[in-house]
Amino acid sequence: MARSSGVRGSRVGSGPMGESERGSAAAQVAVLYWCEADHVTRLRFADTADVPVLWECSVCGLPAGRDRENPPVQAPVAPYKTHLQYVRERRSEAEAEILLAEALARLRATA
C-alpha cells in the first residue's frame, strides 16, 4: 500500500513562494566575453563589482576579452624540454668531450 502525505505539492522545509518573501535581487550587469575561437561567455556581475578585463572561455579555456573584434591572443607555450636538451644549451660538444674524458679518467684511477 502506498503512503500518502497530508501535504501534497510541497516539500519539507520549503518556504512561501514569491519575490516579496525572498527579498529583492541585487542589481546586476551582464557582460559578454569572446575568445579567439569566437566562443561567447555570458556572465553576470553585481553592478558594484569590478568587472575583469579578461576571463577564461568556458568552452575551450582560451583567454577571452570584452572586444569581439580583437579577442586576446593566447601567449605561446614553450615546449617541454628534457634534461639533455637543457644540458646541450649550456655546453658545447667540445666541452662535453672534455668533461667526459675527465670523468672517465677519475673512474679508471679509482678502479
> What would the pLDDT profile of 53-101 be if each residue is shown by its tens digit?
999 999 999 999 999 999 999 888 888 999 989 988 898 889 989 999 9
C-alpha cell of 68? 569581439
Classify domain 26-65 at the CATH superfamily level: RNA polymerase-binding protein A (2.20.28.270)
pLDDT of residue 14: 64
Averaged pLDDT score across all residues of the chain = 85
By the 8 A CB rule, do 34 and 56 touch? no
Grid coordinates belonging to 44: 553576470
Residue 28 φ then ψ, to 5°: -130, 160
Query: Is the pTM value of this prediction over 0.95?
Result: no
Q: Which residue has the higher pLDDT, 10 or 105?
A: 105
Q: What is the CA radius of gyration of the chain?
A: 32
Instruction: Give residues with Cβ within 8 angstroms of 28, minimum separation 6.
Output: 44, 45, 46, 47
Domains of the chain, residue spans? 26-65, 78-111
